[in-house]
């Protein structure tokens, strides 16, 4: 049984005290030594990381970004931390000074015959007050350290030129000022509450506040009471300020049918917030008055009233919503729905979408196909994944090369704009056959070249025609020649490497021999000195760097080589697109990456996934694949966010006009923002509140079943790039497009395009079909393809032979005011890895054709197809492999026409198809082609 006794200090034996003090001193020294050594090690590691980052930013030319962010972080962290620690310590010290002194006695507990010293809370409070104030100040300083972006945006803010519809404040207030005020209010409330709670604990520990059950010393002095009342008054003033800041935050409410302040928010929550502000100020005043009164009844009454107002804030709005708004929601919410529609369209850049009506009545003819020859010639027959698989098998050359992704772009070839697909050949250190420090850090340092080909051409073997291929890159098109094919900076995850060393860098394989070279670029932080080597060895945990004999005075280290990571370091205030793409410009390779400014602070705008309710494609980034240079350009000068960042970091963001013209010609509207815009526009094209509320005309981004018989999996259709002539326009252009269907319906309702060329860049157009006209949607077309007897028979035959049938994405191709659907079909042998393009399915209205080439399918449906002096898909397929490798050579047209020459070519075409069907064992197709051949021969005999 434990007993408590109180003994004076002199009752403890002196010898025991001396021995305990000596042992305690040794333990204290040991305890202090371990953290001190750990602190030194951690400090050195942190300093090494910090200093090497500084060197990297300085070398890249973005020292302003590093210094501005660091200086702001340090200023905020130190200022807030010191002020917070000082104020908290001031309150703790005041509480200690105004606390009564307790008798200097020690308490012991007798537990099973052992005497243990009981904690002395009075002394403990004195000892812990200062360290606690420092710790809390450090914590608040760390919070402020991370708020650099908030502070800088507030300080350098650029007005929006627009106001909210309820309070009439500039939109910039919600983006820049309100978040900063909320952060300050949060810090103040934390300061006051910590001071109040800490002071109260000190008073309790030191006996200034005692309970009636304890009669050791009951002392209630005016000093502690006044101190606590003052802090309570300050707390309620801060709470009143926070309630005031909740008023503009009503415009982000999600309690109504749409985002933004609803009828209930304005007519119930808003008055209660004003009441909460008034009552909080009243309670603060009552707390101040209680300083001069012995009793605090009015204060307690005021606090009770404050709690009642808080409770009313939950009950009254809910009651109004249920009994008043609910039965009449549309009539009461109409003005707020209008605010939401207008704000959402502005926030997502949809307020200037141009809508055009299509009749849907136009029946396509061979003449229409002929007039849109360039559109037909740029229909993409290669899907990204099959093409990536093919590149990996025929162009990786060595196991340590990797094609990470396939990009879409366009180049002017033989005087015409041609859409191409390309992929960079990067080096993957993880795939090296012999992974060791020398290979990974000194020898295998970079990728080499790229593969590039047209989107619509195939060889006779069903493989893609390539304009740029092999190692070193061989180009059949002069404008696509690559003089500097080395890729030191790319998409593949890459670790640091050391260049300009005594070790030769592997450049590319050449037969049985390897070609070596040394990095001649401008990037890299010098590591010639022992000091630099020690710093980077610490940063990378790479002690072999200190032991290597391959380093010279000219040696450098390349790090942050992944372009996404590199750009995130250079511009942490931007969000970058997930699909960087490679560009050939003047013989060099560059990466272009789209950048966005995003926010969740646009009043009344409807948030999308991720919580954002504002986005702009405000910047373009260019990265040199060899030198690693980074350039940032402002793409949307109307965006106040990017203008604010331009003021924060002067000279970092350049006007788009300064981008080289050749690179500017490869800018494209990015998929990431287009996906968001199409998702939002599928609902927000409805601009009438009643129609919007009832979702009478809601669209959906097209989804469809996978194009495999027997599967029910749904696939969301992805936007795709193409070159086409838009209805009503005179010339072809590079666009990004996506079709819409009505919600829970499969027919086509509209399609949206984003334009990418010249002065039309960024313009969005929606083409709508009449509601009374049935236009087949992608899902219905896929169902028709799967139900076609000839196609099903052919698929069954291929499957029986063990081949894997791979359907490419179905593409909607607008021609004039009508549509055709195109879907490529690939075959992969049972034991093979290379997909081959074997069929192209074309659907136009009620007609379906599946032929080896796009032109053949078009010819079967329309009886004619566009002639061309450049190699089309069919022309490439008809050539020998040697000819197909030279796509720039002119080829004779193979399209059927009414003259004898065309009939002869058509006969040859049917004969070749019959022979191919015979080789594949497709006797049904063989019979059909022989029958068609007979018909052509009959026409030829009549002309004679």
H or E segment to which residue 502 belongs: none
Is 70 exceeded by the pLDDT of residue 103?
Answer: no
Torsion of the alpha carbons at 234, 240, 241 and 244, rounded to the nearest 10: 180
Q: Backbone dihedral region of 113: left (phi > 0), alpha (psi from -120 to 50 degrees) or beta?
A: left
The 10s digit of each residue's pLDDT in 322-333 is 999 999 999 999
Report pLDDT for 912. Answer: 73
Cα–Cα dist 441/201, whole Å = 58
DSSP assignment of 309-334: HHHHHHHHHHHHIIIIIGGGHHHHHH
CA angle 307, 310, 315 (to 5 degrees): 120
Angle (CA) 807 812 813, round 5° = 120
Q: How many CB atoms lie within 10 A of CB 234?
A: 20
Q: pLDDT tens-digit profile of 221-232?
A: 678 889 999 999
Residue identified by tokens 């119930």 is 268
- C-alpha–C-alpha distance, residues 631 and 651, integer Å: 11
Nearest to 526 by CA among 48, 60, 59: 59
The C-alpha atoms of residue 917 and residue 920 are separated, in whole angstroms, by 5
Nearest to 477 by CA among 806, 848, 853, 871: 871
Other residues' Cβ atoms within 10 Å of the Cβ of residue 287: 24
637 contacts: CB under 8 Å, gap ≥ 6: 643, 655
921 secondary structure, DSSP code: T
pLDDT, position 25: 65
The predicted-structure confidence for 493-520, as pLDDT tens digits, reads as follows: 889 999 999 999 999 988 778 999 999 9
- Helix or strand holding residue 584 (H, E): strand 581-585
Task: Identify the helix (H) or strand (E) that includes residue 248.
Answer: helix 222-249
Contact 207, 216 (CB under 8 A): yes
Q: What phi and psi, each to the nearest 5 degrees, are found at residue 669?
A: -70, 130
pLDDT at 599 exceeding the cut of 70: yes
Task: Choose among 447, 557, 559, 424: nearest CA to 507.
Answer: 447
Q: How far apart are CA 41 and CA 39, in angstroms?
A: 5
Among 276, 285, 286, 272, smallest CA distance to 306 is for 276
Q: Is the dihedral of CA 636, 638, 639, 641 positive or negative?
A: positive
Largest CA distance in the chain: 135
Please, which pLDDT band fits residue 259 given cuts at 50, 70 and 90?
very high
What is the C-alpha to C-alpha distance for residues 526 and 179, in angstroms, rounded to an integer?
42
Residue 868 predicted with pLDDT over 50: no
Residues contacting residue 50 through CB under 8 Å, at least 6 positions apart? none
CA-to-CA dists, residue 651 to 159, 564, 619, 633, 787, angstroms: 20, 21, 14, 10, 61
Q: What does residue 505 show for φ and ψ, rounded to 5 degrees?
A: -90, 135
Categorize the per-residue pLDDT at 286 as very low, low, confident or very high, splitting at 50, 70 and 90.
very high
* Three-state secondary structure call for residue 826: strand
Name the range with the highest mean pLDDT among 179-193, 722-736, 878-892.
179-193
Q: Indicate the DSSP class of residue 362.
A: P
State the pLDDT at residue 419.
95
3-state SS, residue 435: coil
pLDDT greater than 70 at residue 104: no
Chain position carrying tokens 């990456």: 593
pLDDT in tens, 835-861: 999 999 999 988 899 999 999 999 888
341-361 residue pLDDT tens: 999 999 999 999 999 998 877
- DSSP SS3 for 106: strand
Q: Give tens-digit pLDDT for 654-682.
A: 999 999 999 999 999 999 999 999 999 99
Torsion, CA 437, CA 442, CA 446, CA 448, rounded to 10: -110
Return the pLDDT at 870: 42
CA distance 840 to 858: 10
CA–CA dist 637, 653 (Å, integer) = 11
Distance between CA atoms of residues 92 and 85, nearest Å = 10
Average pLDDT along the chain: 86
- Which strand (E) or helix (H) includes residue 834? none
- SS3 for 649-689, per residue? CCCCEEEHHHCCHHHHCCCCCCHHHHHHHHHHHHHHCCCCH
pLDDT band (50, 70, 90) for residue 100: low
Neighbours of 834 (CB within 10 A): 18
Question: The tokens of 431 are what?
Answer: 């795939």
Cα–Cα dist 675/653, whole Å = 26
Task: Grade residue 895 by pLDDT with cuts at 50, 70 and 90.
Answer: very low
CA distance linking residue 749 with residue 943, whole number of Å: 46
Give 7's pLDDT tier (boundaries 50, 70, 90): very low
Predicted pLDDT at 889 = 36
Q: Count other C-beta atoms under 10 Å from residue 465's C-beta.
A: 22
Contact 262, 333 (CB under 8 A): yes
pLDDT of residue 205: 81
Local structure of 493: helix, strand or coil: coil
Rounded to whole angstroms, how far apart are CA atoms 433 and 446?
A: 16
Cβ atoms of 656 and 327 closer than 8 Å: no
pLDDT at 38: 83
What's this model's pTM, rounded to 2 decimal places?
0.85
Q: How confident is the model at residue 921 (pLDDT cuts 50, 70, 90)?
A: low
State the first-to-last Cα distance of the chain, in angstroms, to the nearest integer: 126
Looking at residue 882, what is its pLDDT?
Answer: 33
- Contact yes or no for 773/819 (Cβ under 8 A): no
Are the CB atoms for 626 and 648 separated by under 8 Å? no
Q: Does residue 15 have a pLDDT over 60?
A: no
- Nearest CA to 820 out of 419, 357, 363 is that of 363
Closest CA to 757 of 782, 803, 717, 726: 726
Please count the other Cβ atoms lying within 10 Å of the Cβ belonging to residue 78. Answer: 13
CA 175/CA 171 separation, integer angstroms = 7
Q: What is the mean pLDDT of residues 5-27?
A: 55
Helix%, strand%, coil% for the chain, nearest 5: 45, 20, 35
């Amino acid at each position: 049984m434990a007993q408590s006794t109180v003994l004076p200090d002199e009752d403890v034996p002196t010898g025991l005290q001396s021995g305990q003090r000596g042992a305690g001193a040794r333990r204290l020294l040991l305890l202090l030594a371990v953290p001190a050594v750990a602190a030194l090690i951690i400090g050195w590691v942190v300093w090494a990381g910090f200093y090497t980052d500084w060197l990297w930013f300085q070398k890249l030319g973005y020292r302003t970004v590093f210094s501005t962010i660091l200086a702001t972080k340090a200023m905020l962290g130190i200022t807030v931390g010191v002020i917070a620690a000082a104020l908290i310590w001031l309150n703790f010290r005041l509480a200690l000074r105004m606390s009564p002194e307790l008798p200097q006695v020690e308490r012991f507990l007798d537990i099973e015959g052992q005497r243990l010293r009981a904690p002395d809370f009075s002394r403990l409070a004195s000892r812990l007050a200062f360290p606690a104030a420092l710790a809390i100040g450090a914590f608040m300083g760390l919070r402020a350290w991370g708020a650099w972006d908030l502070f800088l945006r507030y300080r350098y803010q650029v007005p929006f030129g627009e106001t909210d519809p309820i309070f009439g404040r500039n939109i910039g207030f919600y983006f820049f000022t309100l978040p900063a005020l909320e952060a300050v209010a949060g810090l103040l409330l934390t300061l006051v509450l910590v001071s109040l709670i800490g002071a109260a604990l000190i008073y309790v520990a030191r006996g200034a506040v005692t309970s009636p059950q304890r009669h050791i010393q009951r002392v209630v002095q005016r000093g502690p009471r006044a101190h606590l009342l003052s802090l309570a008054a300050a707390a309620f003033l801060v709470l009143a300020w926070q309630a005031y800041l909740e008023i503009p935050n009503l415009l982000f409410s999600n309690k109504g049918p749409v985002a933004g302040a609803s009828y209930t928010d304005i007519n119930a929550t808003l008055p209660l917030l004003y009441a909460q502000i008034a009552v909080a100020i009243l309670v603060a005043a009552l707390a101040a008055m209680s300083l001069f009164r012995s009793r605090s009844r009015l204060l307690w009454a005021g606090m009770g009233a404050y709690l009642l107002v808080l409770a009313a804030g939950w009950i009254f709005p809910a009651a109004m919503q249920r009994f008043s708004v609910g039965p009449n929601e549309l009539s009461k919410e109409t003005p707020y729905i209008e605010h939401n529609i207008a704000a959402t369209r502005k926030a997502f850049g949809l307020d200037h979408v141009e809508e055009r009506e299509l009749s849907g009545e136009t029946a396509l003819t061979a003449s229409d196909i002929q007039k849109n020859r360039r559109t037909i010639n740029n229909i993409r027959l290669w899907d990204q994944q099959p093409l990536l698989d093919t590149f990996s098998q025929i162009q990786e050359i060595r196991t340590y090369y990797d094609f990470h992704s396939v990009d879409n772009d366009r180049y002017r070839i033989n005087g015409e704009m041609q859409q191409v697909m390309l992929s960079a050949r990067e080096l993957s250190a993880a795939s090296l056959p012999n992974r060791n420090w020398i290979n990974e850090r000194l020898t295998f340092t970079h990728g080499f070249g790229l593969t590039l080909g047209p989107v619509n051409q195939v060889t006779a073997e069903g493989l893609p025609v390539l304009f740029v291929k092999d190692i070193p890159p061989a180009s059949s098109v002069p404008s696509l020649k690559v003089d500097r094919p080395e890729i030191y900076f790319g998409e593949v995850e890459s670790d640091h490497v050391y260049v300009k060393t005594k070790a030769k860098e592997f450049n590319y394989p050449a037969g049985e021999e390897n070609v070596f070279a040394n990095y001649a670029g401008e990037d890299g932080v010098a590591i010639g000195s022992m000091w630099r080597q020690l710093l980077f060895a610490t940063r990378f945990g790479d002690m072999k760097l200190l032991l290597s004999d391959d380093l010279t005075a000219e040696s450098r280290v390349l790090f942050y080589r992944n372009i996404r990571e590199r750009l995130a370091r250079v511009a942490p205030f931007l969000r970058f697109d997930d699909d960087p793409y490679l560009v050939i410009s003047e013989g060099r390779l560059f990466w272009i990456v789209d950048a966005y400014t995003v926010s969740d602070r646009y009043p009344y705008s409807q948030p999308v996934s991720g919580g954002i309710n504002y986005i702009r494609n405000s910047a373009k980034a260019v990265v040199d694949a060899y030198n690693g240079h980074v350039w940032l350009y402002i793409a949307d000068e109307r965006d106040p966010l990017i203008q604010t960042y331009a003021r924060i970091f002067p000279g970092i963001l350049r006007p788009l006009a300064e981008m080289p013209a050749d690179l500017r010609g490869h800018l494209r509207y990015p998929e990431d923002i287009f996906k968001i815009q199409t998702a939002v526009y599928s609902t927000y094209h409805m601009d009438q509140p009643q129609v919007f509320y009832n979702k009478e005309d809601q669209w959906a981004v097209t989804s469809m079943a996978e194009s495999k018989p027997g599967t029910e999996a749904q696939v969301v259709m992805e936007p795709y790039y193409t070159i086409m002539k838009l209805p009503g326009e005179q010339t072809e252009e590079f666009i990004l497009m996506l079709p819409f269907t009505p919600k829970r319906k499969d027919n086509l309702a509209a399609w949206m395009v984003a334009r990418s060329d010249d002065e039309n860049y960024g313009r969005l157009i929606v083409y709508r079909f009449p509601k009374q006209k049935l236009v087949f949607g992608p899902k219905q077309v896929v169902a028709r393809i799967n139900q076609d007897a000839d196609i099903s028979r052919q698929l069954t035959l291929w499957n029986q032979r063990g081949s894997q049938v791979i359907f490419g994405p179905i593409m909607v191709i607008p021609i004039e005011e009508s549509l055709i659907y195109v879907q490529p079909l690939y075959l992969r042998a049972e034991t093979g890895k290379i997909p081959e393009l074997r069929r192209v399915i074309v659907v136009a209205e009620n007609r379906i054709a599946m032929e080896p080439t796009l032109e053949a399918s078009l010819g079967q449906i329309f009886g004619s197809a566009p002639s061309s002096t450049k190699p089309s898909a069919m022309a490439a397929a008809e050539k020998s492999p040697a000819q197909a490798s030279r796509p720039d050579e002119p080829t004779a047209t193979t399209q059927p026409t009414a003259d004898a020459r065309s009939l002869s070519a058509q006969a040859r075409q049917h004969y070749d198809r019959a022979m191919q069907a015979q080789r594949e064992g497709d006797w049904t197709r063989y019979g059909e082609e022989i029958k068609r051949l007979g018909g052509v021969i009959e026409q030829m005999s009549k002309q004679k």
